């Protein structure tokens, strides 16, 4: 428990046998459930995740590789089944500081955000630690995502260190999620359509010696272009022509309360 919150951490993993055990061990002790989602790894990722015997750890296995977004979606579904109040995401490759999880949960604990996301630029360390090419790409995508998502104050869109309230989890379960790279951009647009509040929280970047991204330029340009454009158009259509069911229910509730008063 974190304050009054029952917490799950979703750990998407694909061929992370060298890092997954350390990642699981590093998850803070206040976390109630650790949900490792193995996206059809061909190595010992599952065995290594379970080897530690950490309390509350379980593995959800995909029979075929479906992508990081699909892995997170599966983890969110399991988190809802477990009845948690919030589900955070920590990558299976150990690229997130466990000590940053507490601050990430604060906006949800105190009720001023439905979804909290890490922002490595707020910590001031991204400018020094993030590889130059990745830094430039991140800046460009963050600016484009402000337009496509509708969240003009949100930045560092590609940071995967996030925490979703139960309310946000229900919206995601209802609307779906882009299955591969580009899921953070798609997710923000879906949250905006549901009129949920998003908070940026400072987190620190980790880029060790010899670090190499698994994302290649050819893997990112087409899907991200597609995601940004489609999420933008879908958001405009949903917000102006077809209100989101969650938003409609809330407006009906407000109207009912007003009529009673």
Name all domains of the chain by residue range, CATH numbers in brackets: 7-260 (3.90.550.10)
| 158 SS3 class | coil
Q: Is there a contact between 21 and 33 (Cβ–Cβ < 8 Å)? A: no
Q: What Rg, from alpha-carbon coordinates, does the chain have?
A: 18
Packing angle of the helix pair 217-240, 132-149 (nearest 10 deg)? 20
Q: Give the span between the Cα atoms of 138 and 140, in whole angstroms.
A: 5
50 exposure class (CB count in 10 Å sphere: 0-12, 13-18, 19+): middle
Q: Looking at residue 193, what is its pLDDT? A: 92
212 exposure class (CB count in 10 Å sphere: 0-12, 13-18, 19+): exposed
Q: Is there a contact between 253 and 202 (Cβ–Cβ < 8 Å)? A: no
160 exposure class (CB count in 10 Å sphere: 0-12, 13-18, 19+): middle
Residue 154 CA: distances (Å) to CA of 101, 113, 180: 19, 13, 21
Tokens 């337009």, residue located? 147
Tell me the pTM: 0.86
Spell out, as residue ranges, where the chain has pLDDT lower than 50. Answer: 209-211, 259-260
């Amino acid at each position: 428990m974190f304050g009054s919150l029952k917490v799950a951490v979703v750990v998407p993993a694909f061929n992370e046998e060298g890092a997954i055990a350390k990642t699981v061990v590093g998850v803070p002790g206040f976390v109630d459930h650790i949900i490792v989602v193995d996206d059809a790894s061909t190595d010992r990722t599952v065995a290594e995740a379970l080897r530690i015997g950490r309390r509350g750890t379980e593995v959800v296995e995909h029979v075929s590789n479906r992508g990081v977004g699909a892995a997170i979606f599966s983890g969110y579904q399991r988190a809802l089944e477990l009845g948690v109040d919030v589900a955070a995401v920590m990558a299976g490759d150990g690229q997130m500081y466990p000590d940053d999880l507490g601050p990430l949960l604060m906006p949800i604990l105190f009720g001023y955000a439905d979804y909290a996301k890490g922002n490595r630029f707020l910590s001031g360390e991204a400018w020094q630690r993030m590889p130059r090419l990745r830094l430039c790409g991140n800046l460009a995508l963050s600016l484009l995502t402000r337009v496509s998502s509708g969240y003009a104050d949100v930045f560092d869109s590609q940071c995967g260190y996030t925490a979703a309230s139960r309310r946000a989890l229900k919206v995601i379960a209802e609307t779906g999620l882009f299955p591969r790279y580009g899921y953070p951009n798609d997710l923000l647009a879906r949250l905006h359509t549901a009129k949920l509040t998003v908070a940026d929280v400072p987190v620190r970047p980790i880029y060790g010696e010899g670090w190499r991204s698994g994302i290649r330029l050819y893997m990112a340009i087409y899907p991200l272009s597609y995601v940004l454009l489609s999420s933008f158009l879908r958001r405009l259509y949903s917000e102006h022509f077809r209100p989101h069911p969650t938003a409609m229910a809330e407006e009906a509730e407000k109207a009912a309360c007003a009529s009673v008063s």
